[in-house]
């Protein structure tokens, strides 16, 4: 029996270790179905959605975090956006990307390729978001997030992300964890943590075995006594709506809407984040023109 989607935050070793873990199977599968991704793309998207939730859980209430991988591989790019309330949405640029397995594993690094990772932290009270742009180190996502945490946030971190795709192409297990060394950690704690990281099973295997986020943390921090400090249900949420689509059409201008009425007799708008399709018929478009 698989654990439901959930994110747990914990600490260990007198707060000198921070641990975050999430099970994201249902939301990664929802993303796959919405975007009709092929297995390699499903793994890339699932890992990135999970990473943005884990990083997002460290944010303050009014903050938002987005991850954007732009690579020269066939996938071309991945975008994911999360907040501290466990809501995430995202997409890949070429959803049908699938590569031959690399040593038995989905070749996410090959699909992403060399390029840049942009991490944006937006705050509702601050016009200018924090933006970090880094070179992609492996394209496997986990290593890239660890590189970001070390070079931009100065926090040494072990990041493990995993998505297991069944032969039916369904995502049947997804999740991840981040272990971080906080200031004041003793050399013994750091050495013990390194041993733990080297020994930990792949997170997709743990999720397949039915592990919950706290069980993932307990496994990854073997020998420590982790303490849960918070948990939040996680899910795929997009804020698009008919009203927003109409707002976007109005922003295009009356002439553009008239053109749509004349040429198409309707407007078809697809949300790139969740692939929801909105169709506005002639009457709705004419009402929109009248309201401008
Ligand atoms: Zn949407």
Q: How far is the CA of 47 from the centre of ligand 1 (A)?
A: 19
Report yes or no on 209 lying in a domain. Answer: yes
For residue 2, the model assigns a pLDDT of: 85
Find the 238 Cα to ligand 1 centroid distance in Å.
5
Domain total in the chain: 2
Total Cβ atoms within 10 A of residue 134? 14
Alpha helices in 71-141 (DSSP H): 108-112
Q: What is the pLDDT of residues 76-117, one digit of tens each?
A: 999 999 999 999 999 999 999 999 999 989 999 999 999 999
pLDDT value at residue 61: 83
pTM: 0.95
* Separation between Cα atoms, residue 209 and residue 227, nearest integer Å: 22
| CA 292–ligand 1 middle distance (angstroms) | 24
CA–centroid distance, 258 to ligand 1, in Å, is 25
Do 198 and 213 fall within a single domain?
Answer: yes
Ligand 1: centre distance to CA 49 (Å)? 15
CATH code, domain carrying 101: 3.55.30.10
Going from the Cα of 266 to the center of ligand 1, the distance in angstroms, rounded, reads 19
Place of tokens 């390029």: 115
Indicate whether 180 and 287 sit together in one domain: no
Model confidence over 41-52: pLDDT tens digits?
Answer: 999 999 999 999
- 3-class secondary-structure state, position 218: helix
Q: Does a structural domain hold residue 1? A: no
Same domain, 67 and 185: yes
Judge if 110 and 207 occupy the same domain: yes
Q: What is the pLDDT of residue 62?
A: 87
Please say whether the beta carbons of 40 and 47 come within 8 A.
no
Output the six-digit token pair for 214. 């706290």
Residues 257 and 193 both lie in one domain: no
Q: Give the pLDDT of residue 1.
A: 80
pLDDT higher than threshold 90 for residue 292 = no
Long-range residue pairs from 182-189, CB within 8 A, at least 24 positions apart, any chain? 182/15, 182/16, 182/17, 182/18, 182/155, 183/16, 184/14, 184/15, 184/16, 185/13, 185/16, 185/17, 186/13, 186/16, 189/13, 189/16, 189/17
Q: Indicate if 189 and 273 belong to the same structural domain.
A: no
139 plus 278 within the same structural domain: no
CATH number, domain at 255? 3.90.1280.10
Q: Which range marks the domain in which residue 26 is found?
A: 6-236
Ion ligand 1 — residues with CB < 5 Å:
238, 240, 271, 273-274, 276
Query: Per-residue pLDDT averaged across 48-75, rounded?
Result: 96
């Amino acid at each position: 029996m698989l654990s439901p989607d959930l994110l747990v935050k914990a600490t260990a070793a007198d707060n000198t270790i921070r641990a975050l873990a999430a099970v994201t199977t249902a939301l990664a599968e929802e993303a796959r179905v919405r975007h009709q991704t092929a297995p390699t793309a499903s793994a890339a998207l699932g890992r990135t959605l999970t990473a943005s939730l884990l990083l997002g859980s460290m944010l303050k209430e009014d903050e938002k975090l987005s991850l954007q991988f732009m690579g020269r591989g066939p996938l071309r790019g991945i975008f994911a956006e999360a907040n501290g309330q466990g809501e995430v949405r995202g997409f890949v640029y070429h959803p049908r990307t699938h590569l031959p397995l690399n040593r038995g594993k989905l070749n996410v690094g090959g699909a992403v390729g060399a390029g840049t990772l942009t991490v944006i932290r937006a705050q509702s009270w601050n016009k200018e978001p924090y933006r970090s742009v880094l070179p992609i180190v492996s394209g496997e996502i986990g290593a890239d997030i660890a590189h970001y945490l070390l070079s931009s946030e100065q926090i040494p971190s072990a990041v493990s992300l995993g998505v297991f795709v069944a032969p039916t192409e369904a995502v049947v297990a997804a999740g991840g964890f981040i272990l971080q060394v906080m200031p004041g950690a003793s050399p013994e704690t750091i050495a013990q943590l390194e041993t733990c990281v080297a020994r930990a099973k792949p997170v997709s295997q743990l999720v397949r075995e039915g592990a919950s986020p706290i069980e993932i943390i307990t496994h990854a921090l073997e020998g420590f006594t982790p303490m849960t400090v918070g948990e939040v249900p996680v899910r795929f949420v997009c804020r698009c709506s008919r009203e927003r689509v109409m707002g976007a059409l109005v922003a295009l201008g009356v002439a553009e809407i008239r053109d749509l009425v004349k040429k198409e007799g309707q407007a078809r708008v697809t949300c790139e984040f969740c692939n929801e399709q909105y169709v506005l018929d002639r009457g709705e478009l004419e009402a929109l023109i009248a309201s401008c």
